Amino acid sequence: MDLRPSDEQQLLIDSFAALYAKESSPERVRAAEPSGFDPRLWEQLVAQGSLAMAVDEEHDGWGATPLDLALVAQQHGRAIGSAPLIETQVAARLLARAGGTEADAVLRGALDGDRLVAVALRTPTGGVAELVPAGAVATDVLVLRDQQLVVVPTGDDRVIPENVGCMPLADLPVPTSGGTVLSEGPAAARLLDAALDDWLVLTAAALSGIAQRSVEIGVAYAAERQAFGQKIGSFQAVGHRLADCATRAAGADLLAREAAWSATEDPDRSPELAAMAFAFAATAARDASDWSLHFHGGYGFMLEYDIQLYYRRARAWANVVMSPAAAARRVADRRYGPVAS
Protein backbone atom coordinates (compact mmCIF):
# COMPACT_ATOMS: atom_id res chain seq x y z
CA MET A 1 0.00 0.00 0.00
CA ASP A 2 1.57 3.28 -1.17
CA LEU A 3 -0.43 6.27 0.03
CA ARG A 4 1.88 8.91 -1.38
CA PRO A 5 0.08 11.09 -3.95
CA SER A 6 0.63 10.15 -7.58
CA ASP A 7 1.66 12.83 -10.05
CA GLU A 8 -1.99 13.32 -11.02
CA GLN A 9 -3.07 13.52 -7.39
CA GLN A 10 -0.36 16.08 -6.65
CA LEU A 11 -1.72 18.23 -9.46
CA LEU A 12 -5.16 17.89 -7.88
CA ILE A 13 -3.78 18.96 -4.50
CA ASP A 14 -1.92 21.92 -6.01
CA SER A 15 -5.00 23.02 -7.94
CA PHE A 16 -7.29 23.11 -4.92
CA ALA A 17 -4.59 24.54 -2.67
CA ALA A 18 -4.26 27.45 -5.10
CA LEU A 19 -8.03 27.92 -5.19
CA TYR A 20 -8.27 28.03 -1.39
CA ALA A 21 -5.26 30.36 -1.13
CA LYS A 22 -7.10 32.81 -3.37
CA GLU A 23 -10.70 32.33 -2.23
CA SER A 24 -10.46 31.26 1.44
CA SER A 25 -8.00 33.57 3.14
CA PRO A 26 -8.44 34.11 6.90
CA GLU A 27 -10.00 37.48 6.05
CA ARG A 28 -12.58 35.81 3.82
CA VAL A 29 -13.29 33.21 6.51
CA ARG A 30 -13.94 35.99 9.01
CA ALA A 31 -16.14 37.84 6.53
CA ALA A 32 -18.28 34.70 6.08
CA GLU A 33 -19.04 34.51 9.79
CA PRO A 34 -21.46 33.93 11.42
CA SER A 35 -23.31 32.15 8.60
CA GLY A 36 -20.26 30.11 7.61
CA PHE A 37 -21.13 30.34 3.92
CA ASP A 38 -19.07 32.19 1.32
CA PRO A 39 -21.09 32.20 -1.95
CA ARG A 40 -18.09 33.16 -4.06
CA LEU A 41 -15.98 30.30 -2.70
CA TRP A 42 -18.87 27.92 -3.31
CA GLU A 43 -19.24 29.09 -6.91
CA GLN A 44 -15.54 28.56 -7.51
CA LEU A 45 -15.60 25.07 -5.99
CA VAL A 46 -18.52 24.05 -8.21
CA ALA A 47 -16.81 25.56 -11.27
CA GLN A 48 -13.64 23.62 -10.46
CA GLY A 49 -15.62 20.38 -10.46
CA SER A 50 -15.69 19.58 -6.75
CA LEU A 51 -19.12 17.95 -7.11
CA ALA A 52 -18.56 16.30 -10.46
CA MET A 53 -15.41 14.59 -9.20
CA ALA A 54 -17.40 12.88 -6.43
CA VAL A 55 -19.47 10.66 -8.77
CA ASP A 56 -18.62 8.20 -11.51
CA GLU A 57 -18.63 8.80 -15.24
CA GLU A 58 -21.91 6.94 -15.61
CA HIS A 59 -23.51 9.86 -13.77
CA ASP A 60 -21.59 12.46 -15.78
CA GLY A 61 -18.92 12.81 -13.10
CA TRP A 62 -15.16 12.51 -13.11
CA GLY A 63 -14.97 9.21 -11.28
CA ALA A 64 -12.47 10.41 -8.68
CA THR A 65 -11.49 7.87 -6.02
CA PRO A 66 -12.31 8.37 -2.34
CA LEU A 67 -8.58 9.00 -1.82
CA ASP A 68 -8.74 11.84 -4.36
CA LEU A 69 -11.65 13.34 -2.45
CA ALA A 70 -9.80 12.99 0.86
CA LEU A 71 -6.78 14.86 -0.52
CA VAL A 72 -9.05 17.73 -1.55
CA ALA A 73 -10.85 17.64 1.82
CA GLN A 74 -7.52 18.06 3.56
CA GLN A 75 -6.94 21.32 1.65
CA HIS A 76 -10.46 22.36 2.64
CA GLY A 77 -9.56 21.81 6.29
CA ARG A 78 -6.25 23.66 6.02
CA ALA A 79 -8.14 26.67 4.69
CA ILE A 80 -11.21 26.08 6.95
CA GLY A 81 -13.27 26.74 3.84
CA SER A 82 -16.64 28.42 4.33
CA ALA A 83 -18.51 26.25 1.84
CA PRO A 84 -20.27 22.85 2.08
CA LEU A 85 -17.71 20.84 0.10
CA ILE A 86 -17.85 17.61 2.11
CA GLU A 87 -21.59 17.74 2.74
CA THR A 88 -22.48 18.06 -0.93
CA GLN A 89 -19.97 15.45 -2.06
CA VAL A 90 -21.45 12.97 0.41
CA ALA A 91 -24.95 13.76 -0.89
CA ALA A 92 -23.85 13.36 -4.51
CA ARG A 93 -22.31 9.95 -3.81
CA LEU A 94 -25.46 8.84 -1.99
CA LEU A 95 -27.64 9.86 -4.94
CA ALA A 96 -25.35 8.03 -7.36
CA ARG A 97 -25.55 4.87 -5.23
CA ALA A 98 -29.33 5.11 -4.95
CA GLY A 99 -29.79 5.27 -8.71
CA GLY A 100 -33.14 5.43 -10.42
CA THR A 101 -34.87 8.20 -12.31
CA GLU A 102 -35.70 10.33 -9.26
CA ALA A 103 -32.22 10.19 -7.73
CA ASP A 104 -30.59 10.88 -11.10
CA ALA A 105 -32.75 13.97 -11.58
CA VAL A 106 -31.78 15.38 -8.18
CA LEU A 107 -28.12 14.57 -8.82
CA ARG A 108 -28.24 16.28 -12.20
CA GLY A 109 -29.64 19.42 -10.57
CA ALA A 110 -26.84 19.35 -8.00
CA LEU A 111 -24.09 18.89 -10.60
CA ASP A 112 -25.54 21.72 -12.70
CA GLY A 113 -25.51 24.01 -9.68
CA ASP A 114 -29.28 24.42 -9.64
CA ARG A 115 -29.70 22.60 -6.32
CA LEU A 116 -27.60 22.37 -3.18
CA VAL A 117 -28.32 18.98 -1.67
CA ALA A 118 -27.37 17.97 1.87
CA VAL A 119 -27.85 14.82 3.95
CA ALA A 120 -29.45 14.52 7.39
CA LEU A 121 -26.99 12.10 8.96
CA ARG A 122 -28.86 11.99 12.25
CA THR A 123 -32.13 10.08 12.61
CA PRO A 124 -34.99 12.61 12.92
CA THR A 125 -36.32 13.05 16.45
CA GLY A 126 -39.87 14.24 17.01
CA GLY A 127 -40.27 15.01 13.33
CA VAL A 128 -37.14 17.20 13.21
CA ALA A 129 -33.80 16.44 11.59
CA GLU A 130 -31.39 18.17 13.95
CA LEU A 131 -28.11 19.88 13.10
CA VAL A 132 -28.19 18.99 9.42
CA PRO A 133 -24.77 19.85 7.93
CA ALA A 134 -25.25 22.60 5.30
CA GLY A 135 -28.97 22.59 6.15
CA ALA A 136 -28.98 26.38 6.44
CA VAL A 137 -28.01 26.83 2.77
CA ALA A 138 -29.37 23.64 1.18
CA THR A 139 -32.29 23.63 -1.24
CA ASP A 140 -32.97 19.92 -0.66
CA VAL A 141 -32.15 17.41 2.07
CA LEU A 142 -31.88 13.64 1.95
CA VAL A 143 -33.36 12.12 5.11
CA LEU A 144 -34.29 8.68 6.40
CA ARG A 145 -37.99 8.89 7.35
CA ASP A 146 -39.83 5.80 8.55
CA GLN A 147 -37.44 3.46 6.75
CA GLN A 148 -37.70 5.49 3.57
CA LEU A 149 -34.87 7.52 2.13
CA VAL A 150 -36.57 10.64 0.80
CA VAL A 151 -35.46 13.96 -0.63
CA VAL A 152 -37.45 16.91 0.67
CA PRO A 153 -37.11 20.59 -0.14
CA THR A 154 -36.03 22.89 2.66
CA GLY A 155 -38.40 25.66 3.66
CA ASP A 156 -38.60 28.83 5.67
CA ASP A 157 -39.48 26.87 8.81
CA ARG A 158 -35.92 25.63 9.35
CA VAL A 159 -34.19 26.80 12.52
CA ILE A 160 -30.58 27.94 12.21
CA PRO A 161 -28.75 27.58 15.54
CA GLU A 162 -25.69 29.62 16.44
CA ASN A 163 -22.61 27.47 16.85
CA VAL A 164 -19.01 27.99 17.83
CA GLY A 165 -17.71 26.75 14.47
CA CYS A 166 -19.86 29.14 12.42
CA MET A 167 -21.23 26.20 10.43
CA PRO A 168 -24.37 26.53 8.25
CA LEU A 169 -26.31 24.02 10.34
CA ALA A 170 -30.09 23.84 10.57
CA ASP A 171 -32.82 21.95 12.37
CA LEU A 172 -35.25 20.93 9.65
CA PRO A 173 -38.86 19.82 10.19
CA VAL A 174 -39.42 16.57 8.29
CA PRO A 175 -42.93 16.29 6.78
CA THR A 176 -44.75 13.07 7.59
CA SER A 177 -45.63 12.64 3.93
CA GLY A 178 -44.55 13.95 0.57
CA GLY A 179 -41.09 14.25 -0.83
CA THR A 180 -39.48 11.97 -3.38
CA VAL A 181 -38.81 8.42 -2.19
CA LEU A 182 -35.43 7.12 -3.36
CA SER A 183 -35.21 3.85 -1.45
CA GLU A 184 -37.05 1.87 1.22
CA GLY A 185 -36.39 -0.64 3.97
CA PRO A 186 -32.96 -2.10 4.74
CA ALA A 187 -31.57 -0.78 1.44
CA ALA A 188 -32.39 2.79 2.49
CA ALA A 189 -30.65 2.31 5.85
CA ARG A 190 -27.57 0.88 4.11
CA LEU A 191 -27.40 3.88 1.78
CA LEU A 192 -27.45 6.30 4.69
CA ASP A 193 -24.86 4.26 6.59
CA ALA A 194 -22.54 4.36 3.56
CA ALA A 195 -23.03 8.12 3.38
CA LEU A 196 -22.04 8.38 7.05
CA ASP A 197 -18.86 6.43 6.30
CA ASP A 198 -18.09 8.86 3.47
CA TRP A 199 -18.64 11.79 5.81
CA LEU A 200 -16.37 10.28 8.48
CA VAL A 201 -13.52 9.73 6.01
CA LEU A 202 -13.69 13.14 4.37
CA THR A 203 -14.15 14.96 7.68
CA ALA A 204 -11.18 13.05 9.08
CA ALA A 205 -9.10 14.32 6.16
CA ALA A 206 -10.33 17.88 6.73
CA LEU A 207 -9.55 17.65 10.45
CA SER A 208 -6.05 16.43 9.65
CA GLY A 209 -5.66 19.58 7.57
CA ILE A 210 -6.81 21.68 10.54
CA ALA A 211 -4.28 19.89 12.75
CA GLN A 212 -1.41 20.47 10.32
CA ARG A 213 -2.21 24.14 9.81
CA SER A 214 -2.63 24.68 13.57
CA VAL A 215 0.86 23.28 14.15
CA GLU A 216 2.27 25.53 11.43
CA ILE A 217 0.67 28.59 13.02
CA GLY A 218 2.01 27.61 16.44
CA VAL A 219 5.53 26.99 15.13
CA ALA A 220 5.59 30.31 13.28
CA TYR A 221 4.51 32.17 16.41
CA ALA A 222 6.99 30.32 18.65
CA ALA A 223 9.78 31.21 16.23
CA GLU A 224 9.19 34.94 16.60
CA ARG A 225 7.73 35.44 20.10
CA GLN A 226 10.35 36.18 22.76
CA ALA A 227 10.27 35.67 26.52
CA PHE A 228 13.17 36.04 28.94
CA GLY A 229 15.33 37.15 26.04
CA GLN A 230 14.77 33.97 23.98
CA LYS A 231 12.43 32.73 21.31
CA ILE A 232 9.78 30.67 23.09
CA GLY A 233 10.28 27.88 20.57
CA SER A 234 13.63 27.18 22.21
CA PHE A 235 11.88 26.19 25.45
CA GLN A 236 11.51 22.42 25.71
CA ALA A 237 7.97 22.65 27.07
CA VAL A 238 6.95 24.46 23.88
CA GLY A 239 9.07 22.68 21.29
CA HIS A 240 8.37 19.17 22.54
CA ARG A 241 4.63 19.76 22.70
CA LEU A 242 4.49 21.17 19.16
CA ALA A 243 6.56 18.22 17.95
CA ASP A 244 4.06 15.82 19.54
CA CYS A 245 1.20 17.65 17.83
CA ALA A 246 3.01 17.53 14.49
CA THR A 247 3.47 13.77 14.87
CA ARG A 248 -0.21 13.23 15.63
CA ALA A 249 -1.23 15.47 12.72
CA ALA A 250 0.92 13.37 10.38
CA GLY A 251 -0.64 10.21 11.81
CA ALA A 252 -4.14 11.62 11.27
CA ASP A 253 -3.26 12.38 7.65
CA LEU A 254 -1.94 8.85 7.10
CA LEU A 255 -4.93 7.16 8.73
CA ALA A 256 -7.42 9.31 6.78
CA ARG A 257 -5.69 8.36 3.54
CA GLU A 258 -5.74 4.68 4.46
CA ALA A 259 -9.44 4.86 5.27
CA ALA A 260 -10.13 6.54 1.93
CA TRP A 261 -7.94 4.02 0.08
CA SER A 262 -9.76 1.10 1.73
CA ALA A 263 -13.12 2.25 0.35
CA THR A 264 -12.13 0.80 -3.01
CA GLU A 265 -9.26 -1.56 -2.15
CA ASP A 266 -10.44 -3.17 1.12
CA PRO A 267 -14.19 -2.47 1.45
CA ASP A 268 -14.70 -4.97 4.27
CA ARG A 269 -12.49 -2.89 6.57
CA SER A 270 -13.54 0.48 5.22
CA PRO A 271 -16.34 1.28 7.73
CA GLU A 272 -14.07 0.43 10.65
CA LEU A 273 -11.18 2.51 9.29
CA ALA A 274 -13.50 5.43 8.50
CA ALA A 275 -14.62 5.73 12.13
CA MET A 276 -11.09 5.11 13.40
CA ALA A 277 -9.64 7.85 11.18
CA PHE A 278 -12.32 10.30 12.30
CA ALA A 279 -11.80 9.61 16.01
CA PHE A 280 -8.01 10.02 15.72
CA ALA A 281 -8.12 13.09 13.48
CA ALA A 282 -10.67 14.82 15.72
CA THR A 283 -8.38 14.35 18.72
CA ALA A 284 -5.31 15.44 16.76
CA ALA A 285 -7.03 18.62 15.52
CA ARG A 286 -8.34 19.43 18.99
CA ASP A 287 -4.93 19.02 20.63
CA ALA A 288 -2.96 20.83 17.92
CA SER A 289 -5.25 23.86 17.91
CA ASP A 290 -5.43 23.82 21.72
CA TRP A 291 -1.66 23.85 22.27
CA SER A 292 -1.02 26.32 19.47
CA LEU A 293 -3.57 28.70 20.95
CA HIS A 294 -2.12 28.08 24.44
CA PHE A 295 1.38 29.09 23.31
CA HIS A 296 -0.04 32.31 21.89
CA GLY A 297 -0.98 33.23 25.45
CA GLY A 298 -3.77 35.77 25.73
CA TYR A 299 -3.32 36.71 22.08
CA GLY A 300 -4.70 33.33 21.06
CA PHE A 301 -8.22 34.31 22.05
CA MET A 302 -8.15 37.62 20.15
CA LEU A 303 -10.18 37.66 16.95
CA GLU A 304 -7.28 39.24 15.08
CA TYR A 305 -5.23 36.05 15.44
CA ASP A 306 -5.95 33.19 13.05
CA ILE A 307 -5.44 30.36 15.52
CA GLN A 308 -8.80 31.00 17.17
CA LEU A 309 -10.49 30.27 13.83
CA TYR A 310 -8.93 26.80 13.83
CA TYR A 311 -9.46 26.22 17.56
CA ARG A 312 -13.21 26.74 17.22
CA ARG A 313 -13.67 24.70 14.06
CA ALA A 314 -11.55 21.80 15.29
CA ARG A 315 -14.19 21.25 17.98
CA ALA A 316 -17.29 22.08 15.96
CA TRP A 317 -16.46 20.01 12.88
CA ALA A 318 -15.64 17.01 15.06
CA ASN A 319 -18.95 16.97 16.95
CA VAL A 320 -21.67 17.99 14.52
CA VAL A 321 -22.70 14.41 13.72
CA MET A 322 -20.94 12.27 16.34
CA SER A 323 -18.26 12.78 18.95
CA PRO A 324 -14.81 11.14 18.73
CA ALA A 325 -15.91 8.83 21.57
CA ALA A 326 -18.99 7.78 19.59
CA ALA A 327 -16.76 7.14 16.57
CA ALA A 328 -14.53 4.93 18.73
CA ARG A 329 -17.61 2.92 19.74
CA ARG A 330 -18.49 2.64 16.05
CA VAL A 331 -15.03 1.16 15.45
CA ALA A 332 -15.67 -1.44 18.15
CA ASP A 333 -19.09 -2.26 16.70
CA ARG A 334 -17.57 -2.82 13.28
CA ARG A 335 -14.80 -5.00 14.67
CA TYR A 336 -16.66 -7.03 17.28
CA GLY A 337 -20.34 -6.48 16.49
CA PRO A 338 -22.83 -4.24 18.33
CA VAL A 339 -23.11 -4.76 22.07
CA ALA A 340 -26.50 -6.20 23.04
CA SER A 341 -28.71 -3.72 24.88
Q: What is the mean pLDDT of residues 248-267?
A: 97
Residue 142 C-beta-side C-alpha neighbours within 13 Å: 34
Contact 167, 133 (CB under 8 A): yes
Q: Which of 154, 130, 150, 140 is nearest to 191 (CA)?
A: 150
* pLDDT at position 338: 83
Higher pLDDT, 301 or 200: 200
Q: Please name every residue paired with 143 in a beta bridge, in sequence order, or none if there are none.
A: 150
How many residues in the chain? 341
Say how far apart CA 204 and CA 73 lie, in whole Å: 9
Contact 237, 218 (CB under 8 A): no
Q: Is the pLDDT of residue 341 over 60?
A: no
Please return the burial class of 163, using the count of CB atoms within 10 Å of its CB with bins 0-12, 13-18 and 19+.
middle
Please return the burial class of 316, using the count of CB atoms within 10 Å of its CB with bins 0-12, 13-18 and 19+.
middle
CATH code for the structural domain at 188-336: 1.20.140.10
* pLDDT at position 340: 58
Contact 214, 314 (CB under 8 A): yes
Q: What is the mean pLDDT of residues 176-194?
A: 94
Percent of the chain with pLDDT over 70: 99
Q: What is the mean pLDDT of residues 240-267?
A: 97
Residues 6+ apart with CB under 8 A from 142: 91, 94, 95, 117, 118, 119, 120, 149, 150, 151, 182, 192, 195
Q: Is the pLDDT of residue 231 over 60?
A: yes
* pLDDT at position 226: 85
What would the pLDDT profile of 18-70 be if each residue is shown by its tens digit? 999 999 999 999 999 999 999 999 999 999 999 999 999 999 999 999 999 99
Q: What is the mean pLDDT of residues 161-189?
A: 94
Q: Is the pLDDT of residue 339 over 60?
A: yes
Say how far apart CA 248 and CA 235 lie, in whole Å: 20
Q: Is the pLDDT of residue 317 over 60?
A: yes
Say how far apart CA 129 and CA 174 lie, in whole Å: 7
* pLDDT at position 298: 85
* pLDDT at position 1: 78
Handedness of CA 40, 132, 164, 239 (dihedral sign): negative
Confidence band for 327, pLDDT divided at 50, 70 and 90: very high
Contact 202, 81 (CB under 8 A): no
3-class SS letters over 244-279: HHHHHHHHHHHHHHHHHHHHHHCCCCHHHHHHHHHH
Which of 91-95, 109-113, 297-301 holds the top average pLDDT? 91-95
Say how far apart CA 125 and CA 257 lie, in whole Å: 34
Percent of the chain with pLDDT over 90: 91
Q: What is the mean pLDDT of residues 103-126?
A: 94
Say how far apart CA 313 and CA 322 lie, in whole Å: 15
Say how far apart CA 327 and CA 271 lie, in whole Å: 11
- Helix runs in the chain, H state only: 7-23, 26-32, 39-47, 66-78, 85-98, 100-111, 185-222, 236-265, 270-295, 307-317, 324-336
Domain residue extents for the chain: 188-336
* pLDDT at position 155: 87
Q: Is the pLDDT of residue 272 over 70?
A: yes
Handedness of CA 72, 48, 153, 108 (dihedral sign): negative
Q: What is the mean pLDDT of residues 149-163?
A: 94
Q: What is the mean pLDDT of residues 255-268?
A: 96
CA 262 to chain centre: 18
Q: Is the pLDDT of residue 318 over 60?
A: yes
* pLDDT at position 177: 87
Handedness of CA 57, 267, 283, 199 (dihedral sign): positive
